[in-house]
A = this chain, B = another copy of it.
């Protein structure tokens, strides 16, 4: 299991979100409050969209040690500004601690990260792999359930209709799991982005999903906390989606309901029900 955060809004130094909050993701790497494990030290990664780059492919920086002691992560966080970025800290559920198993995963313009697990993944992995589009299969490099979910979602049309593709992925994983007598095959919070929009999914076969929160509208926060200078510097449509709140600011965080997903895009945030579909 893992912890993650996704940011969308005014371009900001990654540092501001990754290190500065009281209960930042870096703090969570040692002292997670809501995660299955207290410690998330089995690798980490960040992905960011860089307007100053030549193309729309986001940057991905991943490494295998704990985030809390990684100096390169701190350097990048203090010197890179981005309007849309992911960060993830990993606690492996058994697969190898290696860079190709660290989140976020990337395909073209798309980023993907995950907290949770496919139950009995080792046993059903082959059947899932067979369903991945052969062309996409070429690009799989790691051995995690998380990357498999990404490539299944890509196979099911993520780049055209992300929400529908994730619903089909979930439906397919549940079907294959049930075929192998797995009672509750899927447990997930997932974040997806394409450089302009950001999706956050919360679902589990058992209906007891890992925690997921989104930040309150900036306008509302400004009224609640007129003293916070930070809030005057970010645009109205700035949003965070996080595994657990970054601090105890009253009114700042809202739980994403069970079996639902949110879409964050400039001027238009939405929350929808999530229903796995037959693949």
**Chain A residues within 8 Å of B, Cβ to Cβ:** 13, 30, 38-39, 41-42, 48, 50, 52-54, 57-66, 68-69, 71-72, 75-76, 78-81, 92, 95-100, 122-123, 125-126, 129-130, 134, 137-138, 140-143
Contact = CB atoms under 8 A, between A and B. Distances in A.
Listed from nearest, the 9 A-B pairs whose CB atoms lie closest are: A59-B79, A50-B79, A98-B98, A52-B81, A53-B79, A69-B97, A59-B75, A126-B137, A41-B41
A53 B82 CA distance: 11
Copies per complex of this chain = 4
Contacts of A61: 72, 75-76
A53 B98 contact: no
Nearest to A121: B138
Nearest to A49: B79
B99 A100 contact: no
Contacts of A79: 48, 50, 52-53, 58-59
Of the candidates A41, A62, A75, A126, the one having the most CB atoms from chain B within 10 angstroms of its own CB is A75
A65 B62 contact: no
A53 B78 contact: yes
A64 B62 contact: no
A124 to B, nearest CB: 10
Contacts of A13: 52-54
A268 to B, nearest CB: 27
Contacts of A130: 130
Given A59-B76, A98-B100, 9 more contacts: A39-B41, A41-B41, A41-B68, A42-B66, A62-B71, A65-B97, A69-B92, A71-B96, A98-B99
A42 B69 contact: yes
Contact of A137 (B60, B65, B125): B125
A165 to B, nearest CB: 21
Contact of A138 (B30, B64, B122, B134): B122
24 contacts: A13-B52, A13-B54, A41-B66, A52-B79, A52-B81, A57-B78, A59-B78, A59-B79, A62-B71, A62-B72, A64-B65, A69-B92, A71-B99, A72-B72, A96-B98, A96-B100, A96-B141, A98-B100, A100-B143, A122-B138, A125-B138, A126-B134, A130-B130, A142-B143
Contacts of A72: 61-63, 72
A53 B52 CA distance: 14
A58 B76 CA distance: 10
